[in-house]
Amino acid sequence: MPVVQAISEKLAGRLKVLRLNTDDNPSTPTSYEIHGIPTLVLFKGGKEVARHVGYAPLSAIEAKLEPHLS
């Protein structure tokens, strides 16, 4: 969670970060084929353009997101 919070703050205005509690919303992970937690899914124009499953340091997540943030 600290990495996601850091991304949200660092990329504010360029990226909207939302968090979903899978215990409270059990059908949503299935509809997006999420099988592991944490999973980060980046949508652009309503379509998935990137996905990351598992922990990664902030720099790795930023590097994966940056090409899609134009």
User: Could you tell me if 29 and 41 are in contact, meaning their C-beta atoms sit under 8 angstroms apart?
Assistant: no
pLDDT digits over 8-38, tens only?
999 999 999 999 999 999 999 999 999 998 9
Per-residue pLDDT band at 45 (split at 50, 70, 90): very high
Angle formed at CA 62 by CA 56 and CA 66, multiple of 5 degrees: 145
User: What is the model's pLDDT at position 1?
Assistant: 75
User: What is the model's pLDDT at position 39?
Assistant: 93
* CATH placement of domain 2-68: 3.40.30.10
* pTM score, whole prediction: 0.82
Per-residue pLDDT band at 41 (split at 50, 70, 90): very high
Query: Phi and psi for 39 in degrees, rounded to 5?
Result: -130, 130
Domain segments of the chain: what residues? 2-68
